[in-house]
Amino acid sequence: MTTPSSPGQHSALDHATQQEAAKRNLWMHFTRMGSYADSDVPVIVRGEGQYVYDQHGKRYLDGLAGLFVSQIGHGRKDVAEAAARQASEIAYFPLWSYANPRAIELAQRLADLAPGDLNRVFFTTSGSEAVESAWKLAKQYFKAVGQPGRYKVLSRYIAYHGTSMGALAITGLPAIKEPFEPLPPGGVRVPNTNFYRAPAFVAGDLTAFGVWAADEIERAILREGPESVAAVFLEPVQNSGGCFPPPPGYFQRVREICDRYGVLLVSDEVICAFGRLGYYFGSERYGYQPDVITFAKGVTSGYSPLGGMLASDRLMEPFAEGAATFLHGITFAGHPVSCAVALANLDVFEKEDLLGNVRANEAGFRATLEKLLDLPIVGDVRGDGYFYGIELVKDKATRETFDDDESERLLRGFLSHALFDAGLICRADDRGDPVIQLSPPLTCTQEHFDEMEQILRSVLSQAWSRL
Ligand SMILES: Cc1ncc(COP(=O)(O)O)c(C=O)c1O
């Protein structure tokens, strides 16, 4: 039980009481709660543009857009007002048997923006649910069209596709799967496109590497038996592991392979859609046509939760007539407030030409981050658009990485805290090799890139001197 609090905006509790309640009552996600035994839980109370502020009023540059979410930046009154207007008109009604005007308008707008024949929007509340929904659609679709043996899903090593049981079976990170095994059967791993760590026989030749990585998908389909494979789940740029862009021609080859074996290509764009790569959809940037796109995060810039999948007319066809039904639904999916927010968010994209801003400034972002390559600890800078990973190494010449113990001391023991203390929110991650990830609001310009570079330079130099 907690003591009752007044409904204040951000500090109904004094600092000590708030900290006590945070430590005693709040269960933070993917967080070692024990790590706050002797220190404060960071509390973010407000945001404005590219910056957020903690409970002491200290300012941070939001180099991660929250969690790859806040495309338009923080504190936008116009989007908040759209939510309030919708909540007072009709806050909630389910998509089960009823439509609501904002969900209809948003579905139409997304269908207009999406590539090719992706005309049907199935809303969810999150990215994991979007991924689950795509797998469920693939399974029920194949049963409906007389190919009931197809249930397996291919995805790439260390790729993150969500945490619910189905999505976790697609996720390729052994450490976060192991406590929950056995998971639903059917998840099969294929290589990712980490060119920095390419196998020796294709190292140094990006095109050959891409051909090999795509052909590994074909080999996996043949090994598993094409009649058992339903879908391949791929991000346009793989997040986990530190931003692996696709080699040239990779997705075109994957598309051909999927067509050859009748396998669906699901583009998991939970991070890469809505401007992260300078386009509404990442598949547009790399010129491939998915059968399904999954999205979440940036569709509302986080002003309210929403996710979904965009499916082709072909996949909808078995459910379009008679008693046929896609047997799947979520209470809060297509929530009217979230849909109103998404529409207002897309209005900001248009009015402020955010895609144009990313395209105009991404070369500057890359060049600024690449300055860090003069540091001995920085092995690789990779990514596209406003989405970058910086790989940290022990030895630049040999590309030797840190062992688990060093990684633990470096990332958790020093870098995460030091970057935060220096006023930069980004992500120090060692789910693959140790990387720092940046994915700032799409409103950022050169001054923000310079601020990121200066903070990273100082903190990474300190990290190196401590090794
Ligand atoms: C590519 C991808 N798919 C799925 C998810 C899961 O989304 P959520 O956390 O909204 O469930 C994420 C989350 O980061 C993601 O990056």
**Mean pLDDT, each 10-residue run in order, the chain (467 residues):** 44 89 96 92 97 97 98 98 98 97 98 97 98 98 98 98 98 97 98 98 97 98 98 98 98 98 98 98 98 98 98 95 95 98 98 98 98 98 98 96 90 92 94 94 98 98 91
pLDDT in the model for residue 162: 98
From 129, 132, 155, 161, give the residue whose CB has the most ligand 1 atoms within 8 Å, as the site to mutate: 161
Beta-carbon count within 10 A of 54 CB? 15
Is residue 161 within a helix (H) or strand (E), and if so which, with residue range?
A: none
**Six-digit token string for 206:** 């990006």
pLDDT confidence of residue 9: 58
Q: What is the largest CA-CA distance in the chain?
A: 69
275 CB near ligand 1 (under 6 Å): no
CA angle 461, 463, 467 (to 5 degrees): 120
DSSP letter at 383? E
Is the Cβ–Cβ distance between 217 and 232 less than 8 Å? yes
Compute the residue count for the chain.
Answer: 467
Residue type, 129: E
Strands (E), 221-376: 229-234, 264-268, 292-295, 307-312
In eight-state DSSP terms, residue 49 is: B
CA of 296 to the centre of ligand 1 (A): 8
Residue with tokens 């859609």: 273
- Residue 75 near residue 45 (C-beta atoms within 8 A): no
Residue 210 Cβ inside 6 Å of ligand 1? The answer reads no
d(CA 172, CA 42): 30
Starting at the edge strand found earlier in the chain, the sheet holding 292-295 runs 118-124, 307-312, 292-295, 264-268, 229-234, 152-156, 187-190
First to last CA, the chain: 45
**Percentages (nearest 5) of helix, strand, coil residues in the chain:** 45, 15, 40
Residue 76: name the closest of 300, 272, 322 by CA: 300
> What is the pLDDT, as a whole number, of residue 2?
40
- Our answer on whether the CB atom of 271 is closer than 6 Å to any ligand 1 atom is yes
- Spacing, Cα 464 to ligand 1 middle (Å): 32
- Rounded Cα distance, 256 and 235, in Å: 17
Residue 240 CA, closest ligand 1 atom number: 16
**Which atom of ligand 1 is least distant from the CA of 269?**
1
Output the six-digit token pair for 135.
Answer: 């797998």
Position 263 scores a pLDDT of 98
Q: Is the CB of 306 under 6 A from ligand 1?
A: no
Q: How far apart are CA 360 and CA 86, in angstroms?
A: 34
Amino acid at residue number 41 = V
What is the Cα–Cα distance from 141 to 461, expressed in whole angstroms?
Answer: 53
> How far apart are alpha carbons 265 and 246 in whole angstroms?
15
Which residues neighbour 78 within 8 Å (Cβ) at sequence distance 6 or greater? 344, 347, 348
**Six token digits for residue 422:** 């220096």
The residue whose C-alpha atom lies closest to atom 2 belonging to ligand 1 is 161
| CA 280 / ligand 1 centre spacing (Å) | 17
Q: Which atom in ligand 1 lies closest to the alpha carbon of residue 131? A: 4
Cα(44)–Cα(49) distance, integer angstroms? 14
**Reported pTM:** 0.97
Helix 250-261 to helix 206-224 angle (10° resolution) is 20
Tokens matching residue 27:
């269960």
* CA 450/CA 445 separation, integer angstroms: 9
